[in-house]
Chain A
Amino acid sequence: MFRFLSKISVFAKIFKECREFNLGPWQCPTFVFFVLGMINIAAMIATYLIAKYYTEPEFVALIVIGVATFFFLISYSVTQGFDQLAKANKMKTEFVSIASHQLRTPLSAMRWTINLLEDNRVGEMGEEQKKYLALVKEGNERMIKLVNDLLDVSRIEMGRVLLQPGQTNLYVLIEKMVKDLSAVAQAGSIAIKLEAAETLPNVYADPSKISMVIQNLIDNAIKYSRGRGEINIKAEKEGKFVKVAVRDQGVGIPENQQKQIFQKFFRSDNTLKNQTSGTGLGLFIAKSVVEESKGKIWFESKANEGTTFFFTLPIYSL
C-alpha cells in the first residue's frame, strides 16, 4: 500500500518516517490521519446528500451513528500507532544509554591500567615500551571519544541536547583552547594566532559544550593545514552576537562536498588523501550545539586555499 502511494512524491514525504520506523500502514499516524481526512470529507458529503434526498430522520441518524462509530475505531488505531512510535523511540534511547555504559566499563578499565603503567606506579617502564604504550593509550582515547560522540549524537537526535547555559567568557575559552592545542599545532608545524579583544562581551552559552566546538574547529584547522600557512582565529562583536572565525590556509573542502560537511559521519575525500583520523561527528555535534545555543555556524572554503569556519553566539544580557 505504501509503495503504491509513495510513487506519488507528496505521499512519499508524508509516509517516510513511518517506513523508517518499520510501521505498517495502519500503525502509521500520518497514514491513518490521511484516511481519516478522506473519510471525513466523504462522510460530510454523503450526509448532506442523504439528508437532502431522504427525509426520514431515523435514516440520517443511523448514518451519523455509523460514521461516528467508524471514527472511534480509527482513532483507537491512531493512538496505537503513536504508542508504537513512542515505544520505538524509548527503546532507542535506552539502547544507546546501556550500550554506552557497557562500552565505557572496559574502556575505563583499560585507561586506568594504562595510567598505572605510564605513571610508573607498577615499576619502571623502558623508553621503548613507553612509546608503544602511548599508541595503546591513543587508541583507547579515540574509542572513548567515539562513545562520547555517539552519546551526544543520540541525545541531539532525541532533541535532548544537554546544555547548561550561563554567562560565558569566550575570550578565556578560546585562549585556553589555543594554549591546550599549541603542542599539537607545533607538531603539525602550524602557528595559531588569536585576534580578539579581552573586552569581548560575554555570551549566553554552555561553556563546556562551546569549548568542544572551538576545540573541534581548531583541531580540524590543524589537521587540514598540512603544515601550510597559519591558523587565524578572530572573535569580535557583531550586533547582538559575538562572531568567531577560525581560518586555515590548508587543503580546503572540495566544492562538490561542501553541502554535506555538517552531516553525521561525513568525511570529505580530502581526509582519505591526507589520512587524517576522525569520527566524522565533530561538525554535526558542533552545529547542533551552536544552533541549540541560538547561534549560527557556517563556512567558506576553496580547495587548496583554505577554509574559514564561522559561528555566532548571542551576547549575554540580563
Chain B
Amino acid sequence: MQTILFVEDEPTLQKALGLALAQEGYEVKTAADGEAGLQLAREVKPNLVLLDLILPKMDGFEVLEELKKDDATKNIPVIVLTNLESSQDIEKALVLGASTYLVKANYDLKDVIEKVKENIK
C-alpha cells in the first residue's frame, strides 16, 4: 500500500483530503507543522508528499528545500497544495523541486486525487 504524507495546518482540509485519500486506498500520514512534516517524511519515506506552504514552525518552502537536499528524501515527489498564488511563489516552489503547484480553492477533491495518482511513485 502506498503512503502519502499530507502536511497541512488547517484541520478541516486535513480531515477532508485525508479521508478521501484513505478511501482511495492510500495510507495517509498527516502533520500540522513544517518541522513535524519534515521529521515524518524522513522517518516514513512516503511515496508522495502533499505540502502546504503557510505552516507554523517551518514554512513549506523550507521543508521542500530540506527534502530535496537530503539524499534519503530527494526523490519523493512533492505536490505543493496551497492557497498562495503569486508568480514568485510558484516559481520558487518549482525551482526548489516541487512536481506541481495546485491552488487548493480551485480544485475539487477528485481533481487533487487525480494529480496524486499522476505523480505518485
Contact = CB atoms under 8 A, between A and B. Distances in A.
Given A97-B86, A116-B19, A151-B85, A144 B106 contact: yes
A119 B86 contact: no
Interface residues of B, number: 21
Given A101-B54, A104-B104, A109-B13, A122 B83 contact: no
Contacts, number: 59
Contacts of B23: 121
A144 B107 CA distance: 10
A115 interface: yes
A112 B17 contact: yes
Contacts of A113: 12, 16
B109 interface: yes
B61 to A, nearest CB: 15
A121 B18 CA distance: 12
B108 A115 contact: yes
Contacts of A144: 105-106
Interface residues of A, number: 22
B20 interface: yes
Contacts of B96: none
Given A104-B83, A113-B12, A122 B19 contact: yes
Contacts of A121: 19-20, 23, 109
12 contacts: A97-B84, A101-B83, A104-B83, A109-B10, A109-B13, A112-B13, A112-B20, A115-B16, A115-B108, A116-B19, A121-B19, A151-B85
Given A109-B10, A116-B20, A147-B105, 18 more contacts: A97-B86, A100-B85, A104-B104, A108-B13, A108-B105, A112-B12, A112-B13, A112-B16, A112-B108, A112-B109, A113-B12, A113-B16, A115-B16, A115-B108, A115-B109, A121-B109, A122-B19, A144-B106
